[in-house]
Structure 1
């Protein structure tokens, strides 16, 4: 299917297909300063902090018992990544410290991205991943070990992908992956630009589905990326073309349909939100 948007970037024709069988991530040259930060994980043994608005005794639960909704899954299973453990500072440099991004006020309430902590969040994320609407696109249904295997390479990696809970009005209700699209396998399938930042998401509460909450939060997260990553000119996403509600939410959130991509595990819609057009969308 041809792009629905007549406005296309220069050089946005089909990208050469590289052999993706041998390596799951793109090579990244790290500076000596960053390499010096490799070493023992400083988060090991750190006291777990409860999420905003969550009781200290049960921070891993989602108030209200809401079930999850469909989302946009990753291009590839990042469980295949193998990266050395880095310090918090080094692991956040590639994405400009998402843990420090401030909460934002949206029409749906105050929203904040809170980086995932495995010991605190694994149970609720596993429950969301086992919802049939989510599993159809994320393909991570199963016991906690399946979800943990997806999260650990990101949490212990070089910081090119940061998994986060989306906390709305004090309630954890969505899962997000903020990632460097130019350093991701996705970059083999479209003409990536330096600092392109990607988004994967799922909405974890059924009462938030079909109410426009996804569109509201997509716009808020794209704005967070552009506000906190001054070198990033574009926020991108690649929802499954079959996931019509997701594609529609991206369009309503100011993204444009740039191209149809044939990825290893799905046919996707390349959605782009350009910094230069931010005020008009």
Structure 2
């Protein structure tokens, strides 16, 4: 796996993103009934917001996942927790899995996304707020270092607010690479196509 990132082009990437966000596994993304025009509108709004930004993740040049980064202070999260300097929010949607999914792929994607976020100047903590019912992503989040802080009510969902500091992520990466515990291995199977 060789991951790179580029900015989402709301118009050019809309057909691809529409295919991803309308898949049944992406139900927690909240766009199952979206049209291509609706995807264009959503990502035009995100890219022009000044506080929310979407990136397409590529694996050896092939689109493989969508990540969004945002400032929690400019989001509905500001009403439910005390935002700290250095906080950055993140959403993640992995492309539909191929016929023979690669074990541990989603964990590797998440690891690459966290590494990118922690490379940004001033970032100290990554904040996520997946749907409280999305048990698969909660397991993945904890494997990568996120600490649950409790369920919060947001305008569109009940969400499990979780935080990952740089130190949490480093410790989780080290634990994932320890060969004596196969259940915490980056190569252990996690459903490719998870949404956060």
Q: 1:170 to 1:193 in 2, by over 3 A?
A: same
The equivalent residue for 1:275 is 166
Give the alignment partner of residue 203 of structure 1, picking from 94, 97, 114: 94
Aligned 8 A contact 1:113 1:165 in 2: yes
- Determine if contact 1:110/1:169 at 8 Å carries over to the other structure: yes
Contact kept in structure 2, 1:233 and 1:276, CA below 8 Å: no
Matched with 1:219 is 111
Which structure shows the higher strand fraction?
A: 2
Shift of 1:139: 2.2
Alpha-carbon deviation of 1:209? Answer: 6.0
CA contact (8 A) 1:240 1:268 kept: yes
Aligned positions of 1:179-198 closer than 5 A: 179-198=70-89
CA shift, 1:183, in A, is 2.1
What is the rounded CA distance, in whole Å, between the counterparts of 1:183 and 1:262 in structure 2? 16
Alpha-carbon deviations, 1:131-161, whole Å to 9, x = none?
1221x21222232111112111122222x11
Q: Would the aligned equivalents of 1:219 and 1:254 in 2 still touch at CA under 8 Å?
A: no
* 2:6 is the counterpart of 1:114: yes
| Closer/same/farther in 2, CA of residues 258 and 210 from structure 1, 3 Å limit | farther
Runs of 5+ unmatched residues, structure 1: 1-108
Give the TM-score taking structure 1 as reference length. Answer: 0.57
Distance in 1 of aligned mates of 2:77 and 2:84: 12
Question: Which of these residues, 34, 53, 59, is aligned with residue 162 of structure 1?
Answer: 53
Per the alignment, residue 247 of structure 1 pairs with: 138
Find the residue that maps to 2:41 and give its secondary structure: helix
Task: Output the CA distance in 1 between the equivalents of 2:168 and 2:144.
Answer: 12
Question: What does 1:62-211 correspond to in 2, within 5 Å?
Answer: 109-134=1-26, 136-140=27-31, 141-158=33-50, 160-207=51-98, 211=103
The alignment partner of 1:206 has SS state of: coil
Matches of 2:134 and 2:101, distance apart in 1: 13
Unaligned runs of 5+ in 2: 173-196
Alignment partners' CA distance in 2, 1:173 and 1:278:
22
3-state DSSP of counterpart to 2:138 = helix
Number of equivalent positions: 170
- Mapped partners of 2:171, 2:15: distance in 1: 40
Give the alignment's TM-score, normalised by structure 2.
0.80
What displacement does 1:253 show?
1.2
What CA distance in whole angstroms lies between the structure 1 residues aligned with 2:83 and 2:18?
A: 32
The structure number with the bigger radius of gyration is: 1
Equivalent residues in 2 for 1:223-238, closer than 5 Å: 223-229=115-121, 231-238=122-129
Aligned to 1:83: none
